[in-house]
Amino acid sequence: MFGSEQEESSPQNIINMHFDHQHHQTTITSPSVHMRQLLISCAEHISRCDFYGAHRLINILSANSSPCGDSTERLVHQFSKALSLRLHSFADTSTITSGSTSNLVIPSLLTPKISPALPSSAGSGSGSSTQQVFDDESVVQSAYLSLNQITPFIRFTHLTANQAILESVEGHHAIHILDFNIMHGVQWPPLMQAMAEKFPPPMLRITGTGDNLTILRRTGDRLAKFAHTLGLRFQFHPVLLLENEESSISSFFASFAAYLQPDETLAVNCVLYLHRLSRERLSLFLHQIKALNPRVLTLAEREANHNLPIFLQRFVEALDHYTALFDSLEATLPPNSRQRIEVEQIWFGREIADIIASEGETRRERHERFRAWELMLRGSGFHNLALSPFALSQAKLLLRLHYPSEGYKLHILNDSFFLGWQNQHLFSVSSWH
């Protein structure tokens, strides 16, 4: 789309002229580099409260993006919407005075261009806003299940964490797993099957937390039915937990400590959860987990720093991270894949919008790099447990059998596993005691 000859007034030549003027470029750069520079330039304008300049660049970005194009066009589409959301919120609370901007109308990028292949509740024809689509629980959950199916990242974190738990509780006959943000519980059937094959099989209890009690109960029912087919003694305890309400978390730990049986071996699972807690609450949270004396704490997180206080730095970090994610989907799935479109527009789209357009307590996606988690965990009294060679073999087999692409790379660093695309780490898994 960006590489063909066009007239001087075309969007591509506007991009070229913009950067020739702004950065005195004399070398020819690829369309993807141009679009990256333009996105960063738009973020810079918003940082300076130059809303007119940001509006002009968003028009160019939206004209050169598509939810169904190549990976660059799809990425630009999502980041343009996120920038528009941020611009819209800033313009609502600021006076726009530069140039001829007194009558500036922010372009309506708030209505998502959702592919007809997605569920009708996510369609753009109904006039639903981006936020309404993101708040549709069934659409979001469907996108999560698609993410789990078409990418190795979720399966990798679940498989590796499960192996760490199995090895840590070996020989124990009553096991209690505390799983923060259990969602659909897709992590646990393989572990339950492995436990059912032991003789004698242990008693397993899972306490699962979440912010939707209906989903929690459905998850518990599914897991209980599956345990019954295995002949595994099993109990499920759903807990509604609002992670950014300190009183909710504190009262939960107090009640859970009493609920835990003396003969139970505890494993705590934090897969893609800790980043939701503010730094002010994280230290207390980790100390409360340590006080429960778990046999193992499993941790999986994005390998990215989306918690930077300076917006422009956070924007560039997010742009690098999601560029790799979108490139991985481009290399492994066809353009018209319904699940790919769903993941990009709903799951990743929601994350990008939150990282770019939200601030303070309203932002949920506060990803940190492994080094930051390592420092926090050690500061709370935890010590890193080495993941086993068998866990490594399983992860390699997963990639080879289900996601046969040379782009996915598995690395070991500080006794922890990192999965990424090409040379960029995207997810980390580690276990602690």
For the chain, the domains span 11-148+306-362, 151-304+367-382
Residue 126 or 409, more confident: 409
Confidence grade of residue 404 (pLDDT, cut at 50, 70, 90)? confident
Cα–chain center distance at 417 = 17
Is the pLDDT score of 106 beyond 90?
Answer: no
Residues 328 and 240 sit within 8 Å (Cβ to Cβ): no
H or E stretch covering 179: strand 174-179
SS3 state of residue 270: strand
Mean pLDDT of the chain: 86
Is the pLDDT score of 120 beyond 80?
Answer: no
Which amino acid, one-letter code, is at 370?
A: F
Ranges 124-133, 264-273, 318-327, 405-414: which has the least confidence: 124-133
Confidence grade of residue 244 (pLDDT, cut at 50, 70, 90)? low
pTM here is 0.85
Confidence grade of residue 15 (pLDDT, cut at 50, 70, 90)? very low
The Cα–Cα gap between 372 and 365 comes to: 15
pLDDT of residue 231: 97
Percent of the chain with pLDDT over 90: 74
Looking at domain 151-304+367-382, which of 3.40.50.150, 3.40.50.720, 3.30.2350.10, 1.20.58.1290 is its CATH number? 3.40.50.150
pLDDT of residue 133: 54
